[in-house]
Amino acid sequence: MLNVGKIEEGLVLDHIKAGKSLAIYNHLGLDKLPYPVAIIKNARSNAMGKKDILKMECDPDLINLDVIAFIDPRITVNVIKNGEIVEKKALSLPSEVVNVISCTNPRCITSTEHSLPQIFTLADKKRMIYRCRYCEDRYHDRGDRSWYRK
């Protein structure tokens, strides 16, 4: 049995779909932070069968929860202080995401003006559809996550 110790201050992201923790790690830029991060893949879960977990020992305010909510609003975010869970944050889809996904429309201004931020606005909450602010090209979760900005 794998045992990963508790953290004193930071965040624990729980109920991540199995195999998706590395995508979250990359999109949050956790490799650029000088703090410990534990990625637990394929942990047993009664509710999900298998799940991933991310433990980050850092100031909780450093992490952009909108990125996590965009990736999967069902992820549980536990705020840790003094080694104990002090808050469980409920996520909801953000109304806007910036520089998380890229527009694939070749006629979009972002195709030629690379300095412009990639801004997408939530157009349909029920179907998780976002549209480019500039050309209104539609993005939605196709299940393969190929639309994440690299």
Contact assessment for residue 88 and residue 59, using Cβ atoms and an 8 Å cutoff: no
> Any idea what DSSP says for residue 32?
G
pLDDT tens track for 131-143:
999 999 998 655 5
% of residues, the chain, pLDDT over 70: 90
Q: Is 17 exposed, middle or buried (0-12, 13-18, 19+ CB in 10 A)?
A: middle
How high is the pLDDT of residue 140? 62
Task: Retrieve residue 43's tokens.
Answer: 């942990």
The answer to whether the 9-89 and 96-140 domains have the same CATH topology is: no
* Mean pLDDT, the chain, whole residue set: 87
Q: Write out the H or E segment, with its range, that includes residue 37.
A: strand 37-45
Q: Which of 1-5, 12-16, 23-27, 61-65 has the lowest mean pLDDT?
A: 1-5
CATH topology of domain 96-140: SH3 type barrels. (2.30.30)
Question: What is the chain's alpha carbon radius of gyration, rounded to the nearest angstrom?
Answer: 17
pLDDT value at position 2?
A: 62
pTM over 0.85: no
| Among the four given CATH numbers 3.40.630.10, 3.40.50.1170, 3.40.30.10, 3.30.70.140, the one describing domain 9-89 | 3.30.70.140
* Tens digits of residue pLDDT in 55-73: 999 988 888 899 899 988 8
Query: Domain extents for the chain?
Result: 9-89, 96-140
